[in-house]
Amino acid sequence: MPRSLWIGAGAAPALAALSLLLPYQPVYDPWGWLVWGRELTRLDLATAQGMSWKPLPVLVDAPLSLLGSAAPLGWLFLARTGWLLAPLLAAWLAVRLAGEEIGRWRFVAAGLAAGSVALTADAFTPATRQFSGGLSEPLLVALVLGGVAAALAGRSRLGLWLGFGAALLRPECWPFLAIGAVWASRREPHLRPHALAVALLVPLAWFVPDLLGAGDPLAGSRTARGGPIEPLDAFPVLGRALAAPLAAAWIGVALFLFRRGRSRADRALMLILVGAAAWIALVAAMAVAGFAGLPRFLAPATAAIAVVGGVGVARAGVALGAGRHRFVAVATSLALAAAAVQLGVRSAEVPADLRDVDRQAMLVDGMFELATWVPSERLFYCGDRIRLANLLTPPTALAWKLDRPLASVRTVAHPEYGVALSTRYLPGERIAQIGRWRATDLGC
């Protein structure tokens, strides 16, 4: 592994730790994982309410819950480290697979791959929100790219266990992990116990907690298909996949296919590209089956396309510099122009995204202050649930703060009874008010 990658790998956790000084809060799912992690340590896991089950974050948050109020910072540190490592690994793969012979054009490959991974945004969760809020998709990309990098470096065991970590974040990883485990165990027989362990642990981690916490091993799957986001058919998912990476990455993919050879690096790039296509097809098929098909679920495929596209643009750039192949020269020029424009546009969106993040964090801070000031018995005197009448604030955060299960907090736009927390006027007895937040008793 090159020295530059070691330096970057060391800088990522350091920068992630510094980012904890920013006044940003987790988003919906990470708060829920923290609640489940705390319940797991108490052997009182309840997964019937909330989001769908995802093993890795909860298994990480279980020991983090011993940190008390600092547990959210622990998760944010890990998630943000993954966010920082993902573009670094994409850049390293692009440089490694582009070949030494392209000289300084390797930096173009690295920059295009890293930029497309770091600034990929979608209509639901911009990249800055994924970073600040601790979503798991950037960590998923880091695990997937890390597994590919380990396999290319001949460290199959490390690649297998990195793939195992990715498989505990998204079910789309399962077939890829299975293929990788079979291939590794056949090529290196001493890895068969590791492959067998992975084959046993993945279903245990996904289905047993829901069996114990909800009485149904498929509860997470049912929750994912019955969420508030309308499922899609395959065509919108395919459209999102086309729009996710930078346009320059797709031009680079075309350039790579036009000029690809039979070297080991080119075979690896073709496998990466085929894997990206298979991932997109899986997300589309799951959308047809009723799952959400959100753009961020395509993140590993987007990263893979960015790597191949970066290599394609960089290799074509050599031909551009030599004045060969007019078609290649035009396509490369278009790719570089598109990359500059799109990176500029997406970078310009960051300040507005951060202002939104700051506003949402202030809402959570205000809600926490109010919930701490009002006695718990007063909040729950009318039953075992409290109403949250602010649709922008995650109820999972309030459940964490109040040390209650997820089912104890319900988001209701227009609550009619019980105690409600809101940032607007509600008809009833005002129990307390701190800043914009009000606690209102609506009666039983």
Q: What is the pLDDT of residues 282-292, one digit of tens each?
A: 988 888 877 77
CA angle 329, 117, 52 (to 5 degrees): 145
Range name among 98-112, 254-268, 355-369 with the lowest pLDDT average = 98-112
Q: State mean pLDDT over 263-270.
A: 90
Give 433's strand partners: 438
Contacts of residue 250, defined as CB under 8 A and 6 or more positions apart, other chains included, come to 242, 305, 309
The pLDDT value recorded for residue 141 is 93
Q: Which of 110-114, 168-172, 250-254, 257-261 has the highest mean pLDDT?
A: 168-172
pLDDT digit string, tens, across residues 136-193: 999 999 999 999 999 988 899 999 999 999 999 999 999 999 999 999 999 999 999 9
d(CA 314, CA 248): 11
The pLDDT value recorded for residue 2 is 60
Tokens of 368: 């926490």
The pLDDT value recorded for residue 79 is 94
pLDDT digit string, tens, across residues 319-372: 665 555 666 777 777 777 877 887 787 778 888 888 888 999 999 999 999 998
Q: Which of 94-103, 241-250, 406-415 has the highest mean pLDDT?
A: 406-415
The pLDDT value recorded for residue 332 is 74
DSSP code of residue 54:
-
- Does the pLDDT of residue 205 top 90, yes or no? yes
Distances 344 to 105, 108, 245, 306, 410 between C-alpha atoms, Å:
20, 16, 14, 17, 41
C-beta of residue 393 within 8 angstroms of C-beta of residue 361: no
d(CA 333, CA 330): 5
The values of phi and psi at residue 109, to 5°, are: -60, -45
Quickly tell me which residue has 């998923």 as its tokens.
140
Helix 71-98 / helix 264-288 crossing angle, nearest 10 deg? 130
The pLDDT value recorded for residue 126 is 77
The pLDDT value recorded for residue 271 is 94
The pLDDT value recorded for residue 65 is 93
- Does the pLDDT of residue 66 top 90, yes or no? yes
Give 440's strand partners: 420, 430
Quickly tell me which residue has 């750039």 as its tokens.
317
Q: State mean pLDDT over 85-106.
A: 84
- Does the pLDDT of residue 230 top 60, yes or no? no
The pLDDT value recorded for residue 324 is 59
d(CA 66, CA 382): 31
Pairing of β 437-441 and β 429-434: antiparallel
Secondary structure element (H or E) that encloses residue 441, with its range: strand 437-441
Q: State mean pLDDT over 210-230.
A: 73
The pLDDT value recorded for residue 232 is 54
The pLDDT value recorded for residue 226 is 61
Residue 45, helix vs strand vs coil: coil
Which amino acid, residue 401? Answer: K
CB-count exposure of residue 197 (10 Å: 0-12, 13-18, 19+): middle
- Does the pLDDT of residue 122 top 60, yes or no? no
- Does the pLDDT of residue 201 top 70, yes or no? yes
CA angle 357, 361, 364 (to 5 degrees): 145
The pLDDT value recorded for residue 128 is 82
Quickly tell me which residue has 């070297």 as its tokens.
263
The pLDDT value recorded for residue 234 is 61
The pLDDT value recorded for residue 423 is 92
Residue 388, helix vs strand vs coil: strand
- Does the pLDDT of residue 121 top 60, yes or no? no
The pLDDT value recorded for residue 326 is 67
**Torsional sign, CA 58, 64, 66, 70:** negative
Quickly tell me which residue has 């602010």 as its tokens.
390
Residue 390, helix vs strand vs coil: coil
373 or 339, higher pLDDT: 373
Q: In what order do the strands lie in the sheet with 419-422?
A: 409-411, 386-388, 419-422, 437-441, 429-434
Find the largest Cα–Cα distance for the chain: 79
d(CA 110, CA 101): 15
Secondary structure element (H or E) that encloses residue 61, with its range: helix 55-64
The pLDDT value recorded for residue 203 is 95
Nearest C-alpha neighbor of 248 from the set 336, 127, 325, 346: 336
d(CA 262, CA 440): 69
Tokens of 204: 């245990």
DSSP code of residue 231:
P
Tokens of 443: 């009666």
Q: Which of 90-94, 102-106, 323-327 has the highest mean pLDDT?
A: 90-94
**Torsional sign, CA 24, 28, 30, 35:** positive
For the chain, the average pLDDT equals: 86
143 or 238, higher pLDDT: 143
Kindly indicate the confidence band of residue 255, based on its pLDDT and cuts at 50, 70 and 90. Answer: confident
C-beta of residue 147 within 8 angstroms of C-beta of residue 176: no
Contacts of residue 229, defined as CB under 8 A and 6 or more positions apart, other chains included, come to 292, 294
